[in-house]
Amino acid sequence: MSELWVEKYQPRKLREIVGQSKAIQDITSWAEGWKKGKPTKPAILLYGAAGTGKSVAAAALAHEFGWDLIEMNASDKRTLSEIKRVAGAAASAGTLFAGAGGRRLIVLDEADTIHGTADRGGYRALKELLEETRNPLVLIANDQYAIPWDLRMVCVLVNFRRLTVDIAIKELQRICRAEGITAEPLALKVIAETAKGDLRSAINDLQTFTLGKKRLTVKDLVLYRRDREVNVFDFLKQLLSVSSAKDARTLLWALDLPPNDALAWIDENIPRMVTDPTDLANVYDAISRADIFLGRARRGQAYGLWGYASDLMSAGVATSRGEHLKWSKFRPPSHIRRFARTRANRAVRDAVARKVAKRCHTSARVARKDILPCLGVVFKHDKKTAAAITSQLEFTDAESSFLKAMG
């Protein structure tokens, strides 16, 4: 991913911040107040849900008023001990080094995390700072009540509301236009609704689901909503680390996802992370057998088959994935499910090709294209030679039946 859209399309000006007109108004009049000298409430507390524009508003404010921006993160322990020193120095420094507007805007993001990380010295320092300061201070927090009341008393309180679905859709449309993406209206609605007022996550999701494409349809999102609720990512992560079959089964039970969907997620993600070829073949084997049982269960052949399928996709996968994993980002299954069986076959084919290539001192590609077809004929028609080759090359059962099926 070259550039994050949340950064690319981040509002630089206060008026570009959408859906927060009341908040922007309050921020502006507080900042105007600073033009006339230190107001009774020298600080402003921007609070509200994630991804609603708080940090962006603070940066835009400094920019618009020509103030130097001094950003600090409260959760950083070093910052804590330095709040007084850094912010205090900045606050009392004259206009010599200050921005064109003559002031510096001190922004303390994640101010609600001060509590618990410090011996409350952080808040005390802040309060003292507010008494001395000659510069405006912005506190940012998700929960206003995580800030001690006596500190809140000296702040203008500004709430950032969760963005409505309509507003989020508009933003998504704007980005789609800019990126040359055509999106089904319903698809944007699904993304906007799922984000629950968090524009950052809506935009991130849009970028994720349109990765490498110029079209977005509802179909691309079929499995998406559910995954939000059950947190399938956690499930996958744990499936890669549990050591017992029983734990793996419990994990799957806890994941409230229809078996087909669970399998699609497993199929999409787990094999990519398995490095050992034998492990990989086993993982594919478990997945493809789960797929087969699920198919039978769907056709109503026996209820117990769901159970087998679940065992295979949880315990089966967990116990065969091996130890050597290559971590990469989880991604949602593509909506056209690539069939595990086809890919399992491909894994077997590649394993055969590798063995043959080694023996014949050639590349796996040549082996696959030129030699495997001949071997297929041999395996189909000449049992004795086939057996000899099998033992020479140490083909597994799966591999020799693959060759036989080829011929």
Which chain residues interact with ligand ATP by CB under 6 A? 6, 9-11, 17-20, 50-56, 142, 160, 199-200, 203
**Separation of first and last alpha carbons in the chain:** 43
- Choosing among Mg ion, ligand ATP, none, which partner's interface includes residue 407 (Cβ < 5 to 8 Å by kind)? none
**Nearest residue (CB) to ligand ATP, 205 versus 399:** 205
The Cα-based distances of 69 to 31, 33, 59, 63, 293 in angstroms read 14, 18, 7, 8, 61
Q: And the tokens for 183?
A: 């999106």
Contact call for residues 259 and 309 (beta carbons, < 8 A): yes
**Nearest residue (CB) to Mg ion, 50 versus 398:** 50
Q: Is the dihedral of CA 37, 42, 48, 52 positive or negative?
A: positive
What is the C-alpha to C-alpha distance for residues 244 and 309, in angstroms, rounded to an integer?
17
> Under rule CB under 5 A, how many of the chain's residues touch Mg ion?
1
What is the C-alpha to C-alpha distance for residues 98 and 64, in angstroms, rounded to an integer?
15
DSSP per-residue string spanning 94-114: -SSSS-TTS-EEEEEETGGGH
Least distance CB 51 / Mg ion (angstroms): 8
Report the SS3 class of residue 325: strand
Positions in 345-374 near Mg ion (CB under 5 A): none
Least distance CB 53 / ligand ATP (angstroms): 3
What is the C-alpha to C-alpha distance for residues 121 and 148, in angstroms, rounded to an integer?
12
Q: Which residues contact 357 (CB under 8 A, 6 or more apart)?
A: 363, 364, 366, 367
**Nearest residue (CB) to ligand ATP, 199 versus 344:** 199
- Choosing among Mg ion, ligand ATP, none, which partner's interface includes residue 51 (Cβ < 5 to 8 Å by kind)? ligand ATP
Contact call for residues 6 and 206 (beta carbons, < 8 A): no
Least distance CB 48 / Mg ion (angstroms): 10
- Choosing among Mg ion, ligand ATP, none, which partner's interface includes residue 101 (Cβ < 5 to 8 Å by kind)? none
What is the C-alpha to C-alpha distance for residues 16 and 63, in angstroms, rounded to an integer?
13
Backbone angles phi, psi at 17, to 5 degrees: -80, 125
Mark the segment that binds Mg ion (CB under 5 A) among 53-61, 116-124, 279-287, 387-395. Answer: 53-61
- The contacts found for 8-16 with CB under 8 angstroms, 24 or more apart, are 9/171, 9/174, 9/175, 9/178, 9/203, 10/56, 11/53, 11/56, 11/60, 12/59, 12/60, 12/63, 13/60, 13/63, 13/64, 14/57, 14/60, 14/61, 14/64, 16/60
The Cα-based distances of 292 to 46, 48, 297, 310, 319 in angstroms read 54, 48, 9, 11, 19
Least distance CB 104 / Mg ion (angstroms): 19
Least distance CB 191 / Mg ion (angstroms): 21
- Choosing among ligand ATP, Mg ion, none, which partner's interface includes residue 203 (Cβ < 5 to 8 Å by kind)? ligand ATP
**Nearest residue (CB) to Mg ion, 142 versus 173:** 142
Regarding 310 and contact with Mg ion (CB under 5 A), the answer is no
- Choosing among Mg ion, ligand ATP, none, which partner's interface includes residue 223 (Cβ < 5 to 8 Å by kind)? none
Mark the segment that binds Mg ion (CB under 5 A) among 23-31, 50-58, 166-174, 357-365. Answer: 50-58
Mark the segment that binds Mg ion (CB under 5 A) among 49-57, 252-260, 275-283, 345-353. Answer: 49-57
- Choosing among Mg ion, ligand ATP, none, which partner's interface includes residue 263 (Cβ < 5 to 8 Å by kind)? none
What is the C-alpha to C-alpha distance for residues 10 and 16, in angstroms, rounded to an integer?
9
**Nearest residue (CB) to Mg ion, 53 versus 259:** 53
**Nearest residue (CB) to ligand ATP, 161 versus 272:** 161
- Choosing among Mg ion, ligand ATP, none, which partner's interface includes residue 259 (Cβ < 5 to 8 Å by kind)? none
Mark the segment that binds Mg ion (CB under 5 A) among 17-25, 55-63, 80-88, 271-279. Answer: 55-63
Regarding 55 and contact with Mg ion (CB under 5 A), the answer is yes
**Nearest residue (CB) to ligand ATP, 24 versus 239:** 24
**Nearest residue (CB) to ligand ATP, 43 versus 262:** 43
The percent of the chain in helix, strand and coil, each rounded to the nearest 5, is 65, 10, 30
**Nearest residue (CB) to ligand ATP, 51 versus 136:** 51
Contact call for residues 406 and 373 (beta carbons, < 8 A): yes
Least distance CB 180 / ligand ATP (angstroms): 19
Least distance CB 254 / ligand ATP (angstroms): 28
**Nearest residue (CB) to ligand ATP, 141 versus 255:** 141
Binding footprint of Mg ion on the chain (CB under 5 A): 55
